[in-house]
Every structure is written in C-alpha cells, then in structure tokens.
Amino acid sequence: MNKLLRTCTCGDLRGGDDGRSVTLNGWVDSRRDHGGLVFIDLRDRYGITQVVIQDQGAEVDVAHTLRAEDVLAVVGDVRRRPSDMVNRDRPTGEIEVVASKVEVLNRSEVLPFTLDEAENASDELKFRYRYLHLRTPIMQRNLRIRHETIQAVRAHLDGEAFLEVETPLLIRTTPEGARDYVVPSRVHPNAFYALPQSPQLYKQTLMISGVDRYYQLARCLRDEDLRADRQPEHTQIDLEMSFVGEEEVFALVEGMVSAVLRRTLGQELETPFRRISYDDAMDNFGSDKPDLRFGLELVDIGDLAGEGEFGVFNSVLADGGVVKAVLGREQAALSRKQIGELEELAKKRGAKGLAFLKLGPDGVTGSFRKFFSDEQIEGIAERMSARVGDAIFVVADKRPVANAALGQVRLEVGRRLGLTEAGEFQFCWVHRFPLFEADGHGGWAAMHHMFTMPEDDRLQDMEDDPGSVYATLYDLVCNGVELGSGSVRIHQRELQERVLRICGVGPEEAESKFGWFLRALDFGAPPHAGIALGLDRFVTVLTGGDSIRDVIAFPKTTAAMSPMDGAPSGVSDAQLKELHLRLLPPVKE
C-alpha cells in the first residue's frame, strides 16, 4: 500500500505538470467505457482528475469492472490535453493522467442514491447514508465554509486579546427556556447532571475571575421541539468581555463578522451595521429580525382609513387599534386565489383578514374600494408611494397583530418579487428590547434571560411597571435571520435579586438554583457584556441554505433521531442498575 499512496491530490495537477509521474487516490466519480479505452473521473475532496486507461490488458480489465464510488489508486503520467479537448469548467481540465497501474483499494456497493441526484433524495435516506451525502460537492463546500468561518473567528478574537476557555458540559440544571437533557450520576445515586443549554453563568463567572475577554465554540443542547433552524445540539460562537458596554460589543462583533465574510466569500462588509430599536423593527417590518434586503416597510394609514365609511376600519380605530398597510409592488395582477394565500399568512399571525386595493390600468379595485372616495383612495396611494400595477395590503387590528401579520405578507411579497435571493448580506442590530414580557399567568418573565441589565433610567420603575422597562439587549440579524443574541449583564447582586423576584423567583428558589452565582457577584464582579452567535445559523446564511442541517456533519431529524447510527437507543439492564434507575412502561397518549 505504501507504494500506492498519493503523491498529489485530484485537484493539484495543471498544464505545467505535463510529463510528471504521479500516484492518485480517490473515488470513481464517473466512468466512460469505450472498450479498449476507458476514461475515469477520479474525485477526492480537492477536485477531479480525468484518468485515461488505454492499453489492452489487466488495467483495462480492472477498469471495465469499476462502478461509482469504488476507491482507487492510480499510477501514471500527466499528459497535457489538446487545446480543443480542455475542460475549462474544471481547474484540472488542461491535463489527464495516463494510467500505467490501476488498483482497487475498496469496492462500493450499489448506491442508495446517486450523488448527483442526492438533493432529490428524502431526508430520511440522506441521513441514513449521511457519509454518502457528505461526499457531494454542496456538502463538501458547506463543511469547508464552516471550517473557514471557525478559523476566521478564532484568528480575529485571538488578535483582540481573547482567551479560549472551555466551560463544563456536565452542570447543574438551570432554567434557560427549554427542557434540559439530563445525565444520571453513577457515583451519586439519584442525582443528575444537566447538559448545558448555554454557558451563560459560567462565562459571566469567568469575567468575575478576571479573564476579561473570553470566547468558546460552545456545544449547547436543548430538549425542544425542532424546526428547520433548530437541532437538539448546536454550536455557539460564545464570547464575553469586561468593562464594556453595548457599543464595544457591536464594534467587536462587526469586525469578526467582516473577517468571516472576507475569508469565506471574499466579500467586504460596510460597517457599522444599521441599528434599529425593537419597537421600530416591529412597527416598520413586523418582525424583530427584519430582512433589510428590500424596503416595503409597513405604513400606518389609520388617519386616512378613518376618513372612509368602512365599518371594519372604523371599529378597530375606535377600539384603539391601528390600520396598517404594506405595498405590494407590481402585485396588481394577483388573482383572488393568490391574495387568499397572502391572507392565510396574515391569519396565521392572528389577523382576522387581509384587505386590499389593486391599482390596475383601468382604475382601482379592491375589498374596500367602494367605501372611499376617489380623493381618499388617491391619498392612500400617495401615502404608500403606489403606482399603477401595484397592490396595497391592509390589516386593521391591535398594533402587535397588525405588525406581525403584515410582516409575513411583506416577506412573501419580497420573495415573490425575487428580492430575497442569496448572495447579498444585510446585517443589522436590533436593540432596546423590553426586559420583561407577560407570562400569560398574571406574572412576568424575562424576554431573553434574567441576567440582563435594565436601562439605567428605568431602574426605579421595575417593580411598579415591569412592562415599561427596557433592557440593554441586542440581537444580530442578517437577511431576516437572528444570528445571535446578547446583552450587558447585571453585575450587582441586589439588582440581580430584584430581577429574579419580578420573574417569580423568590429567595429560596434563587438560592437553590443560582446561589453559587449570586455569591460570586459579591466578590467584585466587573461590569461586563457579551453575545452568543449561532455558528450553524451563520454558516447557513453564508451558504444560502434553508436549514442548519445542511451545514452540520451529522444532524438529527425533526424527531431528534439519527437514522445513521440509531440514536437515541435503549440501554442494558446492567447499565440501568449501575445508574440506580428503573424504567417505567411508556405512557400511552
């Protein structure tokens, strides 16, 4: 085998290597059999090289038996291809390797799907044979971009005096908004560790420890319902800094993100990123993760809507609601069915319906046209900057409902107009979130988490009016995707205990769950702030993908299972005995 180890990869050879003797190792990507002349495209991670087997004898006999994904060693000489035979779509297209020896290192069974059709295979099949799916050019590219992202992050943070510190994976259970994965302790009967949902308290403790600047590529695990952008385990670019505020975090992260785009895609970003308050994001885009690749912002037309005789608008306005609209550029030709599809999107966000106007070449039509004069309609069209060929979509409801419903309509209109294509990156910071939100049971919960610093000018109002208090919270958003979330942290015990109490965590519970951390705050905790960016989401945006499963080497299905290795699986009676556990029969739903 040593004599057959590669001397170069399948992506290395160029015209200047003409006449060179080489050994290649790789997989059969394709075979073209012409009897006494066989062409093999040999593939590895680095590229594809055409191999020519042209003499009668043992080598041609071997070539006739090859199938896709057989693993070969090829010994031969590099030959420059005639100019009219150069493959200009391939970096190695100037040359071919004329084989003097072909040896099969391993055979492949017939594939469950061909690699060039892998994206059309079912998710279950791709996950079961993930090692085959990972051989495809798209997945190889995704893994490379993920790697380069990590390298760029590490290089940038190292240049900013950060220390990479690992925090524990076996911790005490801590409420983070999702269920913990728990691990039974063998040496401490009836006691359990939890797997971390985030390193939040540990990274804050590192600031108390004087580390000053910490980062980690942190593995985080959450037992929650899954979606396209969720997995039971994911990776965070987790960082924390002492003696900084919001703007210092923004500048650091903008530099890091710019370094990633520069290395992975060769793109330069304009900084600083746009800053948008939470209230403005909801009012103008109907989302706290706005897609800024296009405009079509939401517009309040309540004053104009109130001039007409449409009962729905008037009753909503009288009840303190709003009438808001979004422009459907070039959407006047939509059928009633297509408008109905938009209406369903609005209803899923709580709206009772979706009113509309269509500015056609023969005049204005729509669901509320007859309740308004020509002048009033012209006023609405002018407010919306609408022109002939456009449509105007309107929701009348309470402000949060109208914003959320029209936000979905806006995104769909942008998608239909091709305004959300991959390749453009519009980053922004959404900040000044409310610190608390109603928990649905007459109490209050932290909008993000309970360790976030309230804005200074509202500290005295926290107990009297929690809903009015804003926090130094911020999210990094790109193309409508929340990439990361962070905040300035509470560094004083008394203030931390106040926030816990408002969230319904009394002294005894606080001591039980967070006592060790509260005591740490007593020993000179510095002001500090940080953020965690979802590495998987970030790479998904960079690659233009739809799901983080496409940038994770071995993801789980939406049922949190791995068809490839059969996880999760049962354990033996002997293991259960060691762990002092006994299984109950499953409860039938």
> How far is residue 287 CA from its own chain's centroid?
16
CA dihedral sign, ordered 453, 459, 465, 470:
negative
Phi, psi of 483 (to 5 degrees): -90, -30
Tell me, what's the pLDDT at 457?
Answer: 66
CATH class of 2-106: mainly beta
8 Å CB contact between 181 and 221: yes
Tell me, what's the pLDDT at 589?
Answer: 66
How far are the Cα atoms of 112, 284, 439, 566 from residue 129, in angstroms, in the given order? 8, 45, 43, 12
pLDDT tens, residue order, the chain (589 aa): 667 999 999 999 999 999 999 999 999 999 999 888 999 999 999 999 999 998 767 788 899 999 999 999 999 999 999 999 999 999 999 999 999 999 999 999 999 999 999 999 998 999 999 999 999 999 999 999 999 999 999 999 999 999 999 999 999 987 556 789 999 999 999 999 999 999 999 999 999 999 999 999 999 999 987 665 689 999 999 999 999 999 999 999 999 999 999 999 999 999 999 999 999 999 999 999 999 999 999 999 999 999 999 999 999 999 999 999 999 999 999 999 999 999 999 999 999 999 999 999 999 999 999 999 999 999 999 999 999 999 999 999 999 999 999 999 999 999 999 998 778 999 999 999 999 999 988 999 999 889 999 987 667 778 888 999 999 999 999 999 999 999 999 999 999 999 999 999 999 999 999 999 999 999 999 999 999 999 999 999 999 998 999 999 999 988 889 999 999 999 999 999 999 999 998 887 6
Q: With b meaning 16 or more CB within 10 Å and e meaning fewer, what string describes 417-440? A: eebbeeeebbbbbbbbbbbbeeee
Assigned fold of 294-419:
Gyrase A; domain 2 (3.30.1360)
Tell me, what's the pLDDT at 318?
Answer: 96
The DSSP line for 539-587 is: HHHHHT-S-GGGGSSS---TTS-BTTTTBS----HHHHHHTT--PPPPP
Structure tokens at 94: 């100037």
d(CA 552, CA 264): 17
Phi, psi of 509 (to 5 degrees): -65, -40
- Burial status of residue 499 (CB atoms within 10 A of its CB: 0-12, 13-18, 19 or more): buried
Question: What is the amino acid identity at position 344?
Answer: E
CA angle centred on 173, ends 171 and 178, rounded to 5° = 120
3-state secondary structure of 317: helix
Packing angle between helix 493-502 and helix 507-521, nearest 10 degrees?
Answer: 150
Tell me, what's the pLDDT at 55?
Answer: 75
Could you tell me where the beta strands, DSSP code E, fall in 361-465?
A: 363-366, 391-397, 427-431, 436-438, 444-446
Tell me, what's the pLDDT at 27?
Answer: 98
Q: Which residues pair with 53 in a beta bridge?
A: 38
Q: Say whether pTM exceeds 0.75.
A: yes
The domain limits of the chain are 2-106, 294-419
d(CA 51, CA 31): 10
Tell me, what's the pLDDT at 176?
Answer: 54
Per the document, the length of the chain is: 589
d(CA 345, CA 341): 7
Q: What would the pLDDT profile of 159-186 be if each residue is shown by its tens digit?
A: 999 999 999 999 998 755 678 999 999 9
Tell me, what's the pLDDT at 175?
Answer: 59
d(CA 410, CA 24): 53
